[in-house]
Homo-oligomer: A and B are copies of this chain.
Amino acid sequence: MVNKEEFRKKIIITAGQIFSRFGFRKTTMDEIAKALKMGKSSIYYYFQSKEDIFEAVVLYEANVLRNELTTAIKSVESPVGKMEKYVFVRMKAFEKLSNYYNAIFDKNLDHFDFIEKIREKYDREEIAILRLLLYDGVRKKVFTVANSEYTALAIQTTLKGLEVPLFWKKKEVNIDQRLHAILDVLFKGILIK
């Protein structure tokens, strides 16, 4: 191995794939080890515990999401496009992540308070981004917003509302459809006539 840190990352990515598929509980150390073609005990050379791996995965995944989101909004010019892109990428990511959450709501997972921390931090970042998108739209005379802070908060609340069914049942999700509808409403209520 080139480097211990390198290999930790490999573990994080591999474990992340399994976690995201089966959740924390249903994923076993043996599976992770097998996927890495190594003995179960070897993993403990790199991580203290299963929970530690999980934490690292969530941290890593949060970073990936952050990057995806920032590149996503950079890839489009128009305020409407940026907002659309942001919302889509965000929801797509949460769809993928829903299994992590399912795992967490699973049982007595009180000791995962770091998730709460991440979520809070991420929420603040999201508000900031949304406010920026709104502000940019206003500057370009495409949006009309009384108070960007409050509007950003409102949008975030809506997005969180969309998350719920994802974590509720894996059944058919008409998310796309509802997403379009919501964006439509959002813009029609926001755009300068």
Contact = CB atoms under 8 A, between A and B. Distances in A.
Residue among A22, A26, A170, A171 facing the most chain B CB atoms (10 A cut-off): A26
Interface in A31-54: none
Interface in A12-32: 17, 21-22, 26
A-side interface size class? under 10
Interface string A99-142: 00000000000000000000000000000000000000000000
Interface in A52-73: none
Contacts of A171: 17
Contacts of A21: 170
Nearest to A169: B17
Nearest first, the 6 closest Cβ-Cβ pairs linking A and B are A26-B26, A21-B170, A22-B26, A22-B22, A17-B171, A17-B170
